[in-house]
Amino acid sequence: MNRHLRSYFAVAQLDLAEVLRSRWLLFCIVVYAALAVVFLLVGMRESTVFGFTGTGRVLVSYVHALLVLLPLMALIATGLVVNKARDDGTLELLFSQPISRGAFFSAISSVRFLVLLLPLAVLMAGVGVFGRFAFGQQIAWSFIGHCLVLSAVLVWSFCGIGLWVSTTVQNSARATMYLLLIWVAGIALMDFALAGMMLQWRMEPRVVFVLAALNPVQSIRMALLSSADPELSVLGPVGFYLANRIGGTGLYALGVAWPMLLGSLAWMGGLWKLRRGDVV
């Protein structure tokens, strides 16, 4: 094992111990499980009249809720990790050892990403198994896989953005403010801005699509809808345009590719800044 890998695993072990000590992993599990229980209970409540809604619909509703929650959790998990380590002297201590900055950045990135994703993967599979044994529903493994891929891409996109903010903004209070602004812009303002523009002007469907696709959250939302409803009827004229011009497969590929690219570019920008910045 070369020195870079040894450094990587050493930092990853330290960061995982910090995550466990701060109960961040437990917090993720509780939040994911609480959301899953809520949507399963809603499905069982509707079953008294309409029949159980099915694991597919439960997962669609579950992931729609995660579209709001996951970006915030990813930004919180990564947005203060580097500047906090700089403030308390951890960076100076680690880099006095034979640990490269690339190994440190890769280790904390992978630990935070996996801590956010692995409990979610287990719970999504658990929802499918629960529907199978409790209600005789078929386990839609392909759809569960699609939902998990979209969730992973969303987590990676905002982890990359959070790490970029963490390395670029040294002041923790200012970094927290920027993280909240990024989350609000990605979740709330984009929806309100698009709705206001559509009410004010008669915009063409392609313009609406381009503006929405630039936001990684909206891009993944459209990919999720294309997996659940290839006709995209819930989007109205814009959905008709997307279904005929791009198709469900193309929309899903775009929803995966663009947020992943955005997160990777932000991650590389954070690594570049860490390598060329000061330790203190």
Please name the residue ranges forming H helices in 54-140. 55-78, 81-87, 90-95, 101-135
User: Taking the CB of residue 247, how many other CB atoms lie within 10 A of it?
Assistant: 14
CA-atom Rg of the chain in angstroms: 21
Q: What is the pTM of this model?
A: 0.86
pLDDT tens digit sequence for 150-193: 999 999 999 999 999 999 988 888 888 999 999 988 887 666 66
Q: With 60 as the cut, is the pLDDT of residue 235 above it?
A: no
Residues in the chain: 280
Which range among 84-88, 98-102, 133-137, 266-270 shows the weakest confidence by mean pLDDT?
A: 133-137
Residues of the chain above pLDDT 90, percent: 22
- Per the CB < 8 A criterion, the answer to whether 75 and 177 are in contact is no
Q: With 90 as the cut, is the pLDDT of residue 267 above it?
A: yes
Phi and psi based region of residue 180 (left: phi greater than 0; alpha: psi -120 to 50; beta: remaining): alpha
What range defines the domain where residue 24 resides?
Answer: 3-276
pLDDT at 74: 93
Higher pLDDT, 244 or 115: 115
**Count of the separate structural domains present in the chain:** 1
Max Cα-Cα span within the chain: 65
